[in-house]
């Protein structure tokens, strides 16, 4: 019943109308050479396309549609259908181009348009004339202090490597921004001589030093597969190691020009937008002033200045920042919410917000601003407009230190001293295992005892010399041999050893006086009869008597 | 059980009292209360001292305390959060020596050892019961015991591997030299907040190794704070005395 309900639920999700269809355009390589081919993919998420998406490509490119594919993924707690269309893009001329957008018509009648992508096309034959090479670079190669540069390291190889290991990079005069990832892409492009395997990684870095910040060189350890196998079944291949030098990556850090007093500390090409959720409110209520700051640059350490004006107070609200690498460019965005609380009725003017930032593209300081707004404030139900302080008078009127915003405060629960159990671990392990070990040991002892018993019992049960003598063969030689065997068995039985392990002379020496001499005489007579054709006489009776006597003596 | 609860209450009192003082704005009393437990400070105490140091704008000391706390409780979200928050402020600080391994976020060496002990105990119980009943197969219990012993020994090994004395550099740009002398060749610099391992000592100089596999000499009085020194390790404990302790030498492990 439950599984049936789950199936119905899943079907409902899958067959439900699209919530928000989207289309994206992915170009395999952002840089390749004329005459080479890369892959292009259009992904339609949560939509039902009517036809193959059309991609706008500039002159100098040939694009060929290959095939579609479908997949279903779980996103945001629901199943989403993704349709992917594969293309091959071949460049014929060098230059910088924009690929796209891709346009797709959906069954719902809606037309979706993707973003465009930038690609750089090198001159023909400029790509890779050797089995592999490695490259590092900073973009841009000249940057202002505080500007974000992108460090890229790239491997190009005719053979897909088994693994790669770049030596740690020494970024002197550069630090990583707080937000943002380090995207890595592995893909291949095709040319007339075959495939080229590409492995690229981008690292955004903030310039903190000035002067020559170049990275002279770095080393890449490359492990390429060979045809040799490490195992007889040929499941595991061997690799050969190659050392590849990459570099230099030139970078010059430039000091910022003298900054104005109200410089916000931001370095980058940003845009600022703002808006209020309401402009009519009562005294004591708050309006949310949302500011959106986005652009190419880092927002580390930036705090929104709070404008001051008569008749209102401004408080910090929620903040959300994000950053991402796209097309090799570091882009960050932040959303700040300020709570604006009017303290008097009437028309209250919220002043415009100005940010002085340094624009690397202009090489100068610029002022971003978002306009203010006039709030219409009604008196409201209460008359308490004095919101100077909610604190009781007992607290001294001196500046109160506050914790930095994002640091979590001290704990109020926890042991004061650390209890380190490390030295006890081996002993506790031994103590836990000791009963089991003793049980195993005791079991082993018992098993050994039982085995000994088993070895002893056949000797006593089977060996019966007198029984052997009751049925002596008719033939002389066989009869004499049986007599000798009966002697040996009775001596072995007395010594408590197997017949094969009997030391006969020692066993005879252990016999009591009187009996020993009779046994020796009988043994000699028996040897004479067996090996020197001596008389047999009463040998049978003597042996039977002596075997019986030896058995009694045992 | 009541005694255990009482001991726990007594053991937690310094942390609770210190935080109460902190919330009342009495910072010195808070620090005094947190450190009044004596012996090896716990992860909570290290964490709170780190918060206090951060508030006093002593970033390297704050990082030192938080890293010490992380060694004791790798999964403590507050510690991880605060360390992540100050990561951007630690430019020039090399990676700490013996950074907690990623598997320790799932189980510390002691926890691993306890899991091993539980498995071995279970196998031991099974073997004894089997012997008493005189029936049953041996292999599953042997397999369980061997697994438990492996896990437990891994925990013991992990615990022993941490037998070292970490040192936290508190001053800015401490020069690393190739010999215990100020005329020694410069091998590099240690940024404030760097965590290094104490290797040897010669007079007023100590030999340290940092996370970038650099080994060199720095002045003992260059502002080093000795972190947890393993109990019973006389050699390292002796070396630790050479350094200038900013905090009482501790003897604890994660």
pLDDT of B115 above 70: yes
Q: Round to whole Å and give the CA distance between B121 and B53.
A: 44
Q: Looking at CA atoms only, how far is residue B136 from chain A in angstroms?
A: 13
pLDDT of residue B101: 55
* Of the partner residues B38, B110, B250, the one whose CB lies closest to the CB of residue A425: B110
Residues of B in contact with A442 (CB under 8 A): 131
Give pLDDT, residue A433.
Answer: 92
Give the lowest-confidence range in A276-285, A301-310, A328-337, B153-162. Answer: B153-162
Chain B residues within an 8 Å CB radius of A175: 88, 91
Burial of A501 (0-12, 13-18, 19+ CB in 10 A): exposed
- The DSSP result for A358-388, as a single string, is EETTTTEEEEEEE--EEEEEE--S------S
With CA atoms as reference, the chain A residue closest to B159 would be A422
Of A374 and B168, the one with more pLDDT: A374
Q: What is the pLDDT of residue B228?
A: 47
Record: contact A175-B91, CB cut-off 8 A: yes
CB contacts, 8 Å: B117 with chain A: 425, 428-429, 432
Say yes or no to pLDDT of A10 above 80. no
Cβ atoms of residues A28 and A38 within 8 Å: yes
**Nearest-neighbour CA in chain A from B90: distance (Å):** 9
**For residues A318 and A334, what is the distance between their CA atoms, to the nearest angstrom?**
11
CA distance B47 to B82: 9
Please tell me which residue of chain A has the smallest CA distance to B45. A416
**Predicted complex ipTM:** 0.70
Residue A387 has pLDDT above 50, yes or no: no
Longest dimension (CA), chain B: 76
Percent of chain A with pLDDT over 90: 12
Is the pLDDT confidence value at A20 over 50?
yes
Cβ-defined contact of A417 to B88 (cutoff 8 Å): no
Q: In chain B, what residues touch A417 (CB-CB under 8 Å)?
A: 11, 37-42
- Asked if pLDDT for residue A385 goes beyond 60, the answer is no
pLDDT at residue B229, rounded to an integer: 45
Q: Any idea which residue has 């579609």 for tokens?
A: A68
pLDDT at B118 over 90: yes
Q: List % helix, strand, coil for chain A (3-state, nearest 5).
A: 20, 40, 35
**Closest to A413 (Cβ–Cβ): which among B16, B36, B155?**
B16
- Residue A157, judged by CB atoms within 10 A of its CB (0-12, 13-18, 19+), counts as buried
Beta bridge mates, B197? B166, B209
Residue the block writes with tokens 């050994």: A448
Q: Checking DSSP bridges between strand B215-219 and strand B205-209, what pairing results, if any?
A: antiparallel
CB-based contact A406 B159, cutoff 8 Å: no
Average pLDDT, chain A: 81
Q: How many residues does chain A have?
A: 554
Interchain CB distance below 8 Å, A417 and B41: yes
Using DSSP, state whether B27 is helix, strand or coil.
helix
Is the omega angle on the peptide bond into residue A340 within 30 degrees of 0, that is, cis? no
User: For residue B141, what are its two tokens?
Assistant: 């219990």
Model confidence band, residue B33 (pLDDT cutoffs 50, 70, 90): confident
DSSP, collapsed to helix, strand or coil, labels residue A149 as strand
The arithmetic mean of pLDDT across residues B142-148, rounded, is: 93
Query: What are the residues whose beta carbons fall under 8 Å from the beta carbon of B137, sequence distance 6 or more?
Result: none
SS3 A117: strand
Q: What number is the average pLDDT over the span B181-203?
A: 77
Instruction: Report the range of poorest mean pLDDT among A258-272, A355-369, A500-514, B62-76.
Output: B62-76
The pLDDT value recorded for residue B165 is: 52
The pLDDT tens digits for A49-93 are 888 899 999 988 989 898 888 887 776 667 778 888 999 899 888
Question: At A339, is the secondary structure helix, strand, or coil?
Answer: strand
Q: Which long-range contacts (CB under 8 A, 24 or more apart) does A332-335 make?
A: A332/A177, A332/A179, A332/A180, A332/A268, A332/A294, A332/A295, A332/A296, A332/A297, A332/A298, A332/A299, A333/A292, A333/A293, A333/A294, A333/A295, A334/A292, A334/A293, A334/A294, A334/A299, A334/A302, A335/A290, A335/A291, A335/A292, A335/A293
pLDDT at res. B5: 63
Q: What is the 3-state secondary structure (H, E, C) of B35-84?
A: HHHCCCECHHHHHHHHHHHHHCCCHHHHHHHHHHHHHHCCCCHHHHHHHH
pLDDT tens readout for residues A199-228: 889 999 999 888 898 988 888 888 888 877
Q: B198-203: long-range contacts (C-beta < 8 A, 24 or more apart)?
A: B198/B164, B198/B165, B198/B166, B198/B167, B198/B226, B198/B236, B198/B239, B198/B240, B198/B243, B200/B239, B201/B238, B201/B239, B201/B242
pLDDT at A70 (0 to 100): 84
Six-digit token string for A445? 């002892």
**Sheet of strand A280-282, all strands in order from the earlier edge strand to the far edge:** A280-282, A373-378, A346-350
Measured between CA atoms, the residue of chain B closest to residue A412 is: B16
Average pLDDT estimate for A421-447: 88
Between residues A275 and B96, the one the model is more confident about: A275
Q: Is the dihedral of CA A268, A271, A272, A277 positive or negative?
A: negative
* Alpha-carbon span A239 to A241, nearest angstrom: 7
Q: What is the structure's pLDDT at A142?
A: 92
Q: Would you call B156 and A425 a contact, using CB atoms and an 8 Å cutoff?
A: yes
Which structure tokens are listed for A199?
Answer: 């492995």
pLDDT at B232: 43
Average pLDDT of B165-173? 66
Residues on chain A touching B123 (C-beta within 8 angstroms): 433, 436
> Which tens digit of pLDDT belongs to each residue from B2-25?
656 666 666 778 888 888 888 888
Residues of B in contact with A300 (CB under 8 A): 88
Query: Scanning the structure block, which residue is given the tokens 């928000």?
Result: A20
Pick the most confident of A406-415, A473-482, A545-554. A473-482
Pairing of strands B186-190, A252-254: unpaired
Cβ-based neighbours of A547, under 8 Å, separated by 6 or more: A465, A466, A469, A486, A487, A490
Give tens-digit pLDDT for A222-235.
888 887 776 666 66
pLDDT for A402 equals 44
Q: Nearest CB to A416: which of B45, B127, B231? A: B45
- Give me the percent of chain A exceeding a pLDDT of 70: 86
Is a pLDDT exceeding 70 seen at residue B231?
no
Sign of CA dihedral A314, A316, A322, A328: positive
Considering only the beta carbons, identify the residue of A178, A423, A435 that sits closest to B88. Answer: A178
**Contacting residues of A for B149, CB less than 8 Å apart:** 429, 433
CB pairs under 8 A between A and B: 165
Q: Which residue among A417, A421, A434 sits closest to B39, beta carbon to beta carbon?
A: A417
pLDDT top residue among B12 and A263:
A263
A524: number of Cβ within 10 Å? 11
Residue of A nearest to B78 (CA): A408
Query: CA–CA separation, A248 vs A244, rounded Å?
Result: 13
- Residue A310 in this model has a pLDDT that exceeds 90: no
pLDDT value for A303:
82
A483, A543 contact by CB (below 8 A): yes
Given pLDDT bands bounded at 50, 70 and 90, which one contains residue A17?
A: very low
Terminal CA-CA length for chain B: 26
What is the rounded distance in angstroms from the CA atom of residue A421 to the CA atom of residue A93?
A: 70
Closest Cα of chain A to B191: distance in Å? 13
Please tell me the predicted confidence (pLDDT) of residue A77: 65
Using 50, 70 and 90 to split pLDDT, how confident is the model at A346?
confident
**Count of CB atoms within 10 A of residue A262's CB?**
11
Q: Provide the pLDDT confidence category of residue A456 given band limits of 50, 70 and 90.
A: low
CA A213, A214, A215, A216 dihedral sign is: negative
pLDDT per residue as tens digits for the range A94-116: 888 989 899 998 888 888 888 88
- Structural domains in chain A, sorted by start: 16-122 (2.60.40.10), 132-254 (2.60.40), 263-378 (2.60.40), 465-553 (no CATH)
Q: What is the pLDDT of residue B9?
A: 61
Rounded CA separation A96/A120 (Å): 5
Closest-CA residue of chain B to A427: B117
């Amino acid at each position: 019943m439950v599984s049936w309900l789950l199936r119905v639920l899943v079907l409902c999700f899958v067959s439900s109308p699209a919530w928000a269809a989207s289309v994206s355009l992915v170009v395999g390589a952002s840089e390749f050479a004329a005459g080479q081919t890369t892959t292009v993919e259009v992904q339609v998420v949560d939509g039902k396309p009517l036809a193959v998406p059309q991609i706008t490509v500039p002159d100098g490119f040939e694009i060929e549609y290959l095939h579609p594919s479908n997949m279903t993924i779980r996103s945001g707690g629901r199943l989403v259908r993704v349709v992917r269309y594969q293309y091959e893009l071949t460049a014929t001329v060098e230059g910088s181009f924009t690929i796209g957008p891709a346009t797709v018509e959906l069954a719902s009648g809606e037309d979706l348009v993707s973003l465009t992508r930038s690609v750089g096309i090198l001159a023909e034959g400029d790509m890779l004339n050797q089995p592999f090479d490695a490259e590092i670079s900073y973009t841009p190669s000249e940057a202002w202090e505080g500007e974000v540069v992108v460090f890229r390291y790239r491997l190009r190889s005719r053979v897909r490597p088994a693994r790669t290991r770049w030596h740690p990079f020494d970024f002197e005069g550069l630090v990583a921004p707080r937000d943002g990832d380090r995207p890595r892409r592995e893909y291949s492009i095709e040319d007339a001589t075959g495939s080229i395997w590409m492995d690229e990684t981008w690292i955004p870095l903030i310039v903190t030093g000035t002067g020559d910040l170049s990275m002279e060189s770095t080393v890449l350890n490359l492990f390429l597969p060979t045809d040799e196998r490490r195992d007889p079944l040929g499941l595991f291949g061997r690799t050969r190691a190659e050392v590849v030098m990459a570099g230099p990556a030139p970078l010059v850090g430039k000091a910022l020009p003298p900054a104005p007093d109200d410089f916000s500390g931001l370095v980058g090409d940003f845009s600022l937008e703002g808006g209020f959720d309401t402009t009519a409110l009562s005294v004591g209520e708050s309006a949310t002033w949302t500011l959106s700051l986005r652009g190419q640059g880092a927002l580390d350490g930036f705090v929104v200045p709070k404008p001051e004006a008569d008749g209102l107070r401004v408080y910090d609200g929620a903040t959300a920042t994000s950053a991402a690498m796209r097309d090799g460019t570091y882009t960050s965005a932040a959303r700040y919410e300020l709570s604006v609380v009017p303290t008097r009725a009437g028309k209250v003017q919220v002043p415009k917000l100005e940010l002085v930032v340094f624009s690397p593209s202009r090489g100068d300081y610029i002022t971003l601003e978002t306009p203010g707004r006039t709030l219409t404030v009604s008196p409201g139900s209460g008359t308490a407009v004095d919101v100077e302080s909610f604190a009781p008078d007992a607290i001294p009127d001196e500046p109160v230190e506050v914790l930095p915003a994002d640091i979590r405060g001290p704990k109020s629960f926890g042991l004061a001293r650390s209890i380190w159990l490390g030295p006890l671990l081996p002993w506790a392990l031994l103590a836990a295992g000791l009963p089991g070990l003793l049980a195993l040991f005791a079991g082993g002892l018992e098993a050994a005892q039982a085995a000994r018993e088993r070895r002893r019992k056949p000797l006593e049960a089977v060996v019966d010399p007198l029984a052997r003598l009751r049925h002596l063969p008719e033939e002389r030689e066989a009869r004499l041999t049986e007599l000798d065997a009966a002697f040996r068995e009775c001596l072995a039985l007395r010594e408590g050893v197997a017949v094969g392990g009997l030391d006969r002379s020692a066993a005879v020496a252990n016999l009591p006086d009187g009996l020993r001499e009779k046994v020796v005489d009988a043994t000699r007579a028996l040897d004479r009869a067996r090996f020197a054709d001596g008389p047999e006489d009463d040998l049978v009776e003597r042996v039977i008597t002596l075997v019986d006597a030896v058995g009694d003596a045992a | 059980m009541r005694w255990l609860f009482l001991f726990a209450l007594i053991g937690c009192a310094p942390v609770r009292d210190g935080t109460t003082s902190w919330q009342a704005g009495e910072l010195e009393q808070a620090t005094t209360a947190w450190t009044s437990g004596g012996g090896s400070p716990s992860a909570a105490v290290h964490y709170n001292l780190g918060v206090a140091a951060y508030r006093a704008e002593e970033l390297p000391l704050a990082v030192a305390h938080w890293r010490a706390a992380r060694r004791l409780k790798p999964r403590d979200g507050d510690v991880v959060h605060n360390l992540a928050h100050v990561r951007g402020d630690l430019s020039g600080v090399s990676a700490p020596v013996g950074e907690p391994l990623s598997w320790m976020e799932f189980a510390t060496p002691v926890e691993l050892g306890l899991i091993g002990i539980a498995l071995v105990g279970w196998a031991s119980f099974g073997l004894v019961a089997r012997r008493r009943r005189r029936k049953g197969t041996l292999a599953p219990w042997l397999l369980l015991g061997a697994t438990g012993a492996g896990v437990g020994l891994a925990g013991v090994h992990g615990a022993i591997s941490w037998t070292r004395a970490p040192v936290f550099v508190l001053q800015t740009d401490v020069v690393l030299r190739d010999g215990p002398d100020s005329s020694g060749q410069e091998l590099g610099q240690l940024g404030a907040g760097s965590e290094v391992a104490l290797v040897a000592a010669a007079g007023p100089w100590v030999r340290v190794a940092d996370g970038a596999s650099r080994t060199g000499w720095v002045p003992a009085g260059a502002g080093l704070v000795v972190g947890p020194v393993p109990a019973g390790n006389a050699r390292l404990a002796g070396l630790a005395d050479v350094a200038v302790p900013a905090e009482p030498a501790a003897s604890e492990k994660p």
